Structure 1
Amino acid sequence: MPSLSHSQREVLMAELGSLRRFCLSLSGTPADADDLLQATVERILEKGMPEDADAAKWAYRVCRNAWIDELRSREVRQRYPLQMAWDTDEAPSAEDDADLERALEAVSVALNALPPEQRMALSLVAVEGKSYAEAADILEVPVGTIMSRIARARATLLKNRDTPD
């Protein structure tokens, strides 16, 4: 059974908070983010990683790949929709909570409207604080590609913000 070195486990544990935020930025919902984080960690623990791999970068790559797999699965499931009952009884208890919820929803909707490549690049740099070079390494693309994806994402977000509903 593959295993991680002690140092890789420590790096992975230290990166979990940032990795969860990345999952949330990709998925848009806390429940999906938790599922994506769990899938990511499970894959890493099941399959291990090369001894010379940077554990943090490896985890982001595994996460990205798990999200792509999930999107593909959702596409297949949408072809054969199932009826589901959603619990809508969760109401905020205060006006501030409601305002925050609306603001977070607006951000989530705006991010989810971006193409996945732009959303991942923007999330790594703007949310997680990764450098362009680190994001490029994680997503396995040139730095210039990261720069153009982020520029297009920001332009789209600004354009959509200024467009009346």
Structure 2
Amino acid sequence: MTDKEIFLAHLDSITGNLEPDIRMVQSEDAQLPDVAVLTYENWPKPGFITAFTYGLSLADHPNWKRGRCELMISMESLMHAWPFAIGALVSRLRGRCPFSYGNTIKYGRSISEESEMDAFLVFAPPHLDRDQKTVRMNDYDCFIAGVYPLYGSELDLYEQIQLEAFWHHPGWDPLNPQREVMRMVQ
């Protein structure tokens, strides 16, 4: 099997063989192929949109010592802007950003018309258990990282309190596109 076939088979096992909507995002690097965004509506439950990239792991990054990475997003929404955004991130930043847990990324504009969120936090993927987060490809391990939308104004709060406190902040509802902006708790 090719790496792409291995990755798709892994997603089949996770989603129960659901058929994804596959859309391509044009590569911003002429040396790399376009990025596939595999989107699942109403998974893992009704009212959610969940997507995975395939194309980030085709690049290399000097920080990747134990394997390579692909991205996952899941939102309580059915708007395809959320999946498209992670495909755009990969196209724009692969090879330059390690997409390591704790990384924050400014998107540059609102991710979706249903929210003013315009940044991302990279952390453990939602809905996946330990075994589902890693895909053994032919020559490397591929780790699935979760990306969580943020309001740009929350980046300062994140820098002040760091990942663990941010993740456990009382206002943090990472899959809700309608959540309120988080502020420092007094």
- Report the TM-score, using the length of structure 1 for normalisation: 0.30
Q: Larger relative CO (CA 8 A, sep 6+): 1 or 2? A: 1
- Report the TM-score, using the length of structure 2 for normalisation: 0.28
Going by fraction, where is strand more abundant, 1 or 2?
2
Bigger Rg, structure 1 or 2: 1
